[in-house]
Structures are given as structure tokens and as C-alpha cells.
Amino acid sequence: MRILFDLFITFVKIGFFTFGGGYAMLSVIEDNCVEKKKWITHDDMMNVTVIAESTPGPIAINCATFIGYRQAGILGSIAATVGIVFPSFAVILIISGFLDNFLEIEVVKNAFRGIKCAVGILIISAAVNMIKNMKKKPLPVAVLILSALAMLAIDIFSLGFSAITIIVFAAILGLAVFAVKGKKSEKI
Amino acid sequence: MIYLDLFLGFLKVGCFAFGGAYAAIPLIRDVVLSYGWVTDETLTYMIAVSEMTPGPIMVNLATYVGRSQAGFTGAFVATFAVVFPAFLIMLLCMFVFNSLMKNRCFNSVISTLKPCVTGLILAVGIVMTAEAFFDLKGEGGFDPKALFITVLLAAAAFLPPVFGKKKISPIMLIVVSAVLGVVVF
């Protein structure tokens, strides 16, 4: 019971003090769960990051579920996951209550017009970071460019496809690559 | 029924959002716009607010959109739906953790998913940046003041690393953009 409470409180803390999304959260999770609490090792943290990046959903949720499960099974994973979601949920619920009227104020409106310019740049900068860490081989680069162009086309011409279609195509391509390379029995 | 729509919509987001918060934004945009829950304009505000408030952006957005459509229960349903797939899939991964990391088929799929997701994020970033000062779909309205702010922010975001300086944090960039917005407009 104590460990469940400890998991919950620790992840509430992590959830409450990290701004800017999942990648910012990873370092805070590592600081708390590897360095301070020693719940998992550094290697585990690396592995969970890889899995978190390659499974759907918020990365922080994946980490919380993993660490919670390691410590106290299914109940532990629930305690940690609820813990990390709770602050977001509470803060947004409170803020969104008065934000609708908030946006009518002239100063706030202008501030948000400024912020609108920043959000796109932040997203581009996230993509740039990912490109930097990517293997610069022909296939990934081609997939990247094609996916970007497809998404741009969908957006600009309001086509009836969605991002999910592109993701499914990429996954099928990955399977096809495996099928071809698998037959040659070479290592990837 | 709105609760069911919210649940299914965000379950879809939770199931297909590979690679973190920014990867989820194209999906959330798709789902939210196709149901007609909020406009592109409002969604941009919501993303900005989600950036500035603590926690995973996806969770913040789900809570926000859910609340705007169906109050507290809506917020709860949307948040649960976006978190649940990640939770469940992670639990399943725990059982096959070691063999999965060595599985070549799994690795092969991941190797194409990663660049695909990166491309999607890049495209959405470009569209959203352009839409801040240029009306892409409508009359082609152009806003020079917004372009000015965008150029300043882009310089602040991308130039420091070129000169070996530390990157400006996302929170800092948003604060600066808000101040610029008040000053310029």
C-alpha cells in the first residue's frame, strides 16, 4: 500500500512540474525514478524510452506504466499512470473554465496571436531535433520526405485522407522491408 | 452521443499517436476538425495553452477539448480514452519486453515509422507556421505583423544552436511570443 501511495505522489509531482510535453518529462522522470528512488536502472530507462517512442500514446504515460508495473504490478502501474495524468487534468479543467471569456480581452487576444506564431515554430523545431537524431539512410530519408509532402498535400488541398493513413502505409512499408530482407536473411 | 464520440475520437488518437506529443497534434487536429468540435483557430489556442500548462500535451488537449464539448464528464472521457491505449500497450510490452527488443520484424516497422512520424510533424509545423501569418485555405489574407513576429521567433529558436549557444526553451519562446504579440498588434 505504501509503495502505491509513493508511486502516485511521485508521479503527481513529475506531472505537475514538467512543462512542454513528453521529451521535457523524460529527464524529470529519470531524475526522480532512477537517481532518487532507484526504482529502475539507467538501462531500463533507456529501454523504456525506446519502447515509449515506438508505441502509441504520450511518452510520459508509457514511462509511468512501466515503472509502476515494475514496482507493484498492475495496481502499481495504475497508481503511477493516474498520478501523472492528474495534474494535467486538474490544471486544464480549472484554466479552461475561464479561458473562453479570457480570450475576449484585447491584451490576451494579442498575446495569443503572438503565441500562435510560436507554436508552429516549436513543432518544426521538434521535427528538426528528430531529424538530427535520425539515421541518414536512403529509405528513412525517402519515407520522411514522402510523409511530409503527403501531409502537406492533405492539409493544403483538404484531401479526405488523414495522418493515420500515412502512418499505416509506413508500417506496411516497414513490414515489406522486413519480408524482403528476411528472405535474403541479412541483418537489418 | 457526444461522450461516445469523444471516447472513440480520442481512443483513435491514443492508438495512433506514435512518437510523442507533436506527433499527436496532426491526429488530434484531424479528429477534432472532422467532428467539428472546435475550429482550427481555437485548436491553436488550445495547443498553446497545453504547451504552457504542466503535463503531457496530448492529455492536456484531450481534457481541454473534452471539457469544451461536454463539461467535466467529457473531459474525463476524452482523457481516459487518450491514456488508455498507451497504458494497455505498455502493459502488454512488459510481458514480451526482452524478446520484442530483439525482434527484427518489430525493429523493421519501427525503422519506417520513425521517419514517417518526423515527416508528419515537420509538415504540420510548416502549415501551422504559415497559417499564423497567411490564410492558406481562405482568401489568402496576409498579415505582415504576424510574419514579423514569426521571423523573430524563428531566429530565436533556430539560430542559437548554430552558434553553439544553448537552445531557448519552449516555455521561454512562448512567453516571448506573447509579449511580442501584445507589443506588435
Number of domains in chain B: 2
Contacts of B115 in chain A (CB under 8 A): 134, 140-141, 143-144, 147, 170
Are B125 and B94 contained in the same domain? yes
Alpha helices in B17-135 (DSSP H): 21-35, 40-52, 57-95, 97-102, 104-133
**Contact between A114 and B184 (Cβ < 8 Å):** yes
Sign of the alpha-carbon torsion through B172, B175, B178, B180: negative
What is the residue whose three cell numbers read 473554465?
A97
The C-alpha atoms of residue B81 and residue B17 are separated, in whole angstroms, by 12
- Chain-centroid distance, C-alpha B41: 14
Contacts of B122 in chain A (CB under 8 A): 124, 127-128, 131, 144, 148
**Contact between A88 and A16 (Cβ < 8 Å):** no
Contacts of A119 in chain B (CB under 8 A): 44, 47-48, 51, 128, 132, 174
pLDDT for position B184? 86
The C-alpha atoms of residue B113 and residue B129 are separated, in whole angstroms, by 24
- Interchain contact, A114 vs B119, CB within 8 Å: no
Of the candidates B87, B105, B130, which is a domain's last residue? B130
pLDDT for position A171? 86
More confident residue, A103 or B87: B87
Q: Is B21 a domain residue?
A: yes
Are B15 and B98 contained in the same domain? yes
Most confident segment among A64-73, B89-98, B156-165: A64-73
More confident residue, B72 or B124: B72
Are B121 and B153 contained in the same domain? no
Closest CA of chain A from B4, distance in Å: 19
pLDDT for position B129? 87
Are B107 and B159 contained in the same domain? no
Sign of the alpha-carbon torsion through A49, A177, A161, A121: positive
Q: What rounded mean pLDDT belongs to chain B?
A: 84
pLDDT at B177 > cutoff 80? yes
Residue burial A144-173, b: 16+ Cβ < 10 Å; e: rest? bebbbebbbebbeeeeeebbbebbebbbeb
Residues near A15 by Cβ (< 8 Å), separated by ≥ 6? A60, A83, A84, A85, A86, A87, A88, B54, B55
B138: pLDDT confidence band, cut at 50, 70 and 90? low
pLDDT for position A187? 46
Are B27 and B88 contained in the same domain? yes
The C-alpha atoms of residue B178 and residue B185 are separated, in whole angstroms, by 11
**Contact between A86 and A61 (Cβ < 8 Å):** no
What is the residue whose three cell numbers read 512501466?
A66
**Contact between A26 and A40 (Cβ < 8 Å):** no
Q: Is B138 a domain residue?
A: no
Residue among B76, B86, B136 whose CB faces A62 most closely: B86
Residue among B30, B56, B153 whose CB faces A58 most closely: B56
Best B58, B99, B118, B166 member to test A by mutation, with max A CBs in 10 Å, is B118
What single-letter DSSP state applies at residue A161? -
Are B87 and B123 contained in the same domain? yes
Q: Taking the domains of chain A in order of start, what are their residue ranges? A: 2-101, 103-133, 134-188
Residues near A62 by Cβ (< 8 Å), separated by ≥ 6? A48, A51, A52, A55, B86, B89, B90
pLDDT for position A180? 87
pLDDT for position A188? 43
Are B21 and B91 contained in the same domain? yes
**Contact between B119 and A151 (Cβ < 8 Å):** yes
For the question of whether the overall pTM of this predicted structure is more than 0.80, the answer is no
B98-109 confidence digits (pLDDT tens): 677 678 887 788
pLDDT in tens, chain A (188 residues): 889 999 999 999 888 876 655 566 776 787 788 888 889 887 777 777 777 767 788 878 888 999 999 899 999 999 999 999 999 899 888 887 776 666 677 887 788 788 878 888 887 887 887 788 777 889 989 999 999 999 899 888 877 777 778 888 988 998 999 888 765 554 44
Residue among B106, B113, B182 whose CB faces A170 most closely: B113
Are B77 and B168 contained in the same domain? no
Q: Is B61 a domain residue?
A: yes
pLDDT for position A86? 95
B9-51 confidence digits (pLDDT tens): 999 999 888 766 666 788 888 899 999 998 888 888 888 788 7
Q: Which three cell numbers stand for residue B112?
A: 519506417
Closest CA of chain B from A90, distance in Å: 9
For A40: left if phi > 0, alpha if psi spans -120 to 50, otherwise beta; the answer is: beta
Cα→Cα distances B32→A51, B61, B71, Å: 27, 10, 16
Domain that residue B74 falls in: 2-130
Alpha helices in A55-187 (DSSP H): 59-102, 106-132, 138-156, 163-184
Residues near A13 by Cβ (< 8 Å), separated by ≥ 6? A32
Are B97 and B173 contained in the same domain? no
pLDDT for position B79? 95
The C-alpha atoms of residue B32 and residue B156 are separated, in whole angstroms, by 31
**Contact between A62 and A99 (Cβ < 8 Å):** no
The C-alpha atoms of residue A46 and residue A64 are separated, in whole angstroms, by 14
- Interchain contact, A21 vs B20, CB within 8 Å: yes
Nearest to B55 by CA among A119, A115, A82: A82
The fraction of chain B above a pLDDT of 90, given in percent, is 24
Looking from the CA of B138 toward its CB, the CA atoms found within 13 Å total 9
Best A50, A115, A139 member to test B by mutation, with max B CBs in 10 Å, is A115
